[in-house]
């Protein structure tokens, strides 16, 4: 009994330490953003919302913030469509093709800076240029698409295709079967991948750093440039807003479909 209690206590202590390790950076950033002092330090010298006001009043920050939102939204749509189509093909037509699956998830296995450098060299080689909006968008889609592919694939591996066969036997065409049967049943995987894609794109730094240019500066790069010359809590305020946006995305997803549908393939 004593050993059992000790093991149980050690396990609980490990869980608590893990949660502290994960949550402590978030708490530190949030508290630092409320610092009334002039510099980014912890613990804060006092509490103030002045750095949020400075962020809102900064034309450069707001321009980058809105640009990142639009870029992440467009990236999410494109990555979700491509990732879903790729998952359907791999699971149903090329299930034995390990090479194809590895190629589709390769951006997750490589350091982000290496992917960005490879894209930059490729863009110049084909004459696209390295700092265009199109090049930046393609880079974001490349690193976000694997999330959609993996989540949709996980749902499709347990998909009951007899439902599609029943719809086809009743006269429904391929597209109508997909819209009425397949898509509603895999929506959990699609939305899960979309959430990961949006968050990844919005916070993407290596791709944005090398492929962004004048007029195409996402928020992470803007924060990086800002910290090179200023070290006030405005950067912490931006980080806190990123945390809030992530929470909003998760909450909206929960309200629309329920978080459990993201794990059970949309079948509630």
pTM for the full model? 0.82
Within-domain flag for 9: no
What is the domain-level CATH number for residue 141? 1.10.3720.10
Please give the residue range of the domain that contains residue 122.
59-262
Within-domain flag for 239: yes
Q: Is the Cβ–Cβ distance between 143 and 115 less than 8 Å? A: yes
pLDDT at 83: 93
pLDDT at 146: 92
The total domain count for the chain is 1
Residues of the chain predicted below pLDDT 70: 1, 95-96, 129-131, 256-268
pLDDT at 264: 44
Whole-number Å distance between alpha carbons of 267 and 160:
12
Whole-number Å distance between alpha carbons of 181 and 178:
6
Within-domain flag for 13: no
pLDDT at 262: 47
Within-domain flag for 109: yes
Adjacent-strand bridge partners of 35: 47
102 to 50, 109, 112, 118, 249: CA distances (angstroms)? 48, 9, 17, 18, 29
The pLDDT tens digits of the residues spanning 164-207 come to 788 888 888 888 888 888 888 888 888 888 988 999 999 888 88
Whole-number Å distance between alpha carbons of 196 and 256:
16
Short-list 91, 89, 74, 261, CA closest to 186: 261
Within-domain flag for 242: yes
Within-domain flag for 174: yes
Q: Mapped to the 3 state alphabet, what secondary structure does 146-183 carry?
A: HHHHHHHHHHHCCCCCHHHHHHHHCCCCHHHHHHHHHH
């Amino acid at each position: 009994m004593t050993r059992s209690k000790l093991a149980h206590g050690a396990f609980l202590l490990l869980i608590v330490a893990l949660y502290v390790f994960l949550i402590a950076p978030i708490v530190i950033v949030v508290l630092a953003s409320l610092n009334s002092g002039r510099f980014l330090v912890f613990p804060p010298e006092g509490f103030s919302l002045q750095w949020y006001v400075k962020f809102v009043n900064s034309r450069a920050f707001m321009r980058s913030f809105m640009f990142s939102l639009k870029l992440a939204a467009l990236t999410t749509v494109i990555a979700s469509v491509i990732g879903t189509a790729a998952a359907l093909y791999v699971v149903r037509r090329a299930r034995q093709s390990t090479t194809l699956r590895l190629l589709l998830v390769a951006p997750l296995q490589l350091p982000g800076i290496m992917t960005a450098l490879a894209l930059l060299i490729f863009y110049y080689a084909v004459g696209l240029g390295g700092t265009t909006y199109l090049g930046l968008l393609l880079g974001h889609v490349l690193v976000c698409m694997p999330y959609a592919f993996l989540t949709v694939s996980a749902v499709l591996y347990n998909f009951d295709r007899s439902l599609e066969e029943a719809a086809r036997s009743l006269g429904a065409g391929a597209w109508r079967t997909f819209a009425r049967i397949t898509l509603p049943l895999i929506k959990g995987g699609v939305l899960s991948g979309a959430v990961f894609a949006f968050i990844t794109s919005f916070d993407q730094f290596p791709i944005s750093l090398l492929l962004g240019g004048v007029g195409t500066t996402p928020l992470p790069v803007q924060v990086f440039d800002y910290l090179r010359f200023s070290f006030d809590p405005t950067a912490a305020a931006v980080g806190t807003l990123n945390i809030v946006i992530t929470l909003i995305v998760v909450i909206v997803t929960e309200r629309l479909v329920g978080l459990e549908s993201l794990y059970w393939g949309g079948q509630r």
